[in-house]
Amino acid sequence: MPSNHSIKIRHPTFDFDKEIPRYWFNDNPVITHNFNGYNLLFPEFERFFVRSVMHYKNQITDETLLEQIKGFTGQESKHAQAHEDYFQVLERQGYKITRFLRWYKNYASFVERMATPKLRLALTAAAEHYTASIAGIVLSHPELLENVNPTMRKLVVWHSAEEIEHRSVAFDVMQAVGIGNSTRIVAFLMTSLDMLLWSTLSTVMLLWQDRISPWRSFKYKRQYGKKFKGINKRMRQLLLAYFRKDFHPSDVDFLEDAHKYLKQVGIDE
Ligand SMILES: [Fe+2]
Ligand SMILES: [Fe+2]
């Protein structure tokens, strides 16, 4: 069943001109660069999501879903822009990101050219399940955001909350145009490999530029694991739910947390 809440397009601003600490997440380089790595990937793949969903817009007759598509495309376009704006912070901190971005762009356009519209939509729905699961974890564990730079906290909260708000849109479009379970599952497996590959490459690329050895990275990752126990297990549970035949993104509801946080960081009133 499609969910029927409205999806609002917000216009927050971020102080990327101000000093942002190099390791803005709990002073932990590995987790900071994991987020920074996603930051590098977001603009390219969020624009891909918008194109994949828009391809099917004319086949949708449900008025609520059409409204939600408008909200979804508006939110994703804003996210892509904000994450692109964040590149200036990484460049100011001395990171060389241009070559990596070019490789990723070439890879993403190759995938887009090779995949059928159906597969592109199923890949989008699967990736939206990933972003909503990450967002759900972030918003349901307030301790995660305690020692985070305020500008970055605002960016993470805003993006996470909106990922929760629009988490069902691509999925509902996929169901409305009759894409079946097998394509959905194949796309989820492809997305998992893709996320693992590119988030690892982007994180390692940034850690390498800081000359942080694999051993030290391992220690930082373990430190995080000890501090935030149980989060990885919860994440696995959320992600694996996608394999259920009767899965729907709105099964796990983080909407209340999302709206509470948006008020807390001053984006919503
Ligand atoms: Fe997004
Ligand atoms: Fe999204």
Q: What is the number of the ligand closest to the CA of 160?
A: 1
Residues 6+ apart with CB under 8 A from 213: none
Distance from Cα 52 to the centre of ligand 2, integer Å = 12
Q: Which two tokens stand for residue 4?
A: 């029927």
pLDDT for the residue 168: 96
Structure letter (DSSP) for residue 25: B
Look at residue 119 in the predicted model and tell me its pLDDT: 98
Residues 6+ apart with CB under 8 A from 46: 76, 77, 79, 80, 83
Residue 181, pLDDT score: 95
Say if residues 67 and 158 touch (Cβ distance below 8 Å): no
Ligand nearest to the CA of 126: 2
CA of residue 76 to ligand 2 center, whole Å: 6
CA of 162: how far to CAs of 30, 73, 159, in Å?
Answer: 25, 11, 5
Taking only the tens place, the pLDDT of each residue in 214-250 is: 888 888 888 877 777 788 889 999 999 999 999 999 9
pTM for the predicted model, two decimal places: 0.94
pLDDT value of position 3 = 65
Phi, psi (degrees; rounded to nearest 5) at 25: -100, 100
pLDDT digit of tens for each residue in the chain (269 aa)? 456 778 999 999 999 998 899 999 989 999 999 999 999 999 999 999 999 999 999 999 999 999 999 999 999 999 999 999 999 999 999 999 999 999 999 999 999 999 999 999 999 999 999 999 999 999 988 888 888 999 999 999 999 999 999 999 999 999 999 999 999 999 999 999 999 999 999 999 999 999 998 888 888 888 877 777 788 889 999 999 999 999 999 987 888 889 999 999 999 98
Is-contact 184 122, C-beta < 8 A? yes
Q: Which of 45, 26, 263, 231 is nearest to 147 (CA)?
A: 26
| Whole-number pLDDT of residue 166 | 96
Q: Which-ligand-closest: CA of 165?
A: 2
Mind listing the domains of the chain with CATH numbers?
Answer: 29-264 (1.10.620)
C-alpha closest to that of 184 among 176, 194, 174: 174
Q: How far apart are CA 77 and CA 25, in angstroms?
A: 25
Whole-number Å distance, alpha carbon 124 to ligand 1 midpoint, is 11
User: Is 161 within 8 Å of 258 (Cβ atoms)?
Assistant: yes
Tell me, what's the pLDDT at 121? Answer: 98
How high is the pLDDT of residue 154?
Answer: 96
C-alpha of residue 125 to centroid of ligand 2, in Å: 9
- Cβ neighbours of residue 144 closer than 8 Å, sequence gap 6 or more: 137, 138, 228, 231
* CA 49 – ligand 1 centroid, Å: 9
Return the ligand number nearest the Cα of 42. Answer: 1
Would you say 86 and 16 are in contact if contact means Cβ atoms under 8 Å apart?
yes
Report the separation in Å between the CA atom of 184 and the middle of ligand 1, taken as the mean of its atom positions. Answer: 20
Of all ligands present, the nearest one to the C-alpha of 166 is: 2
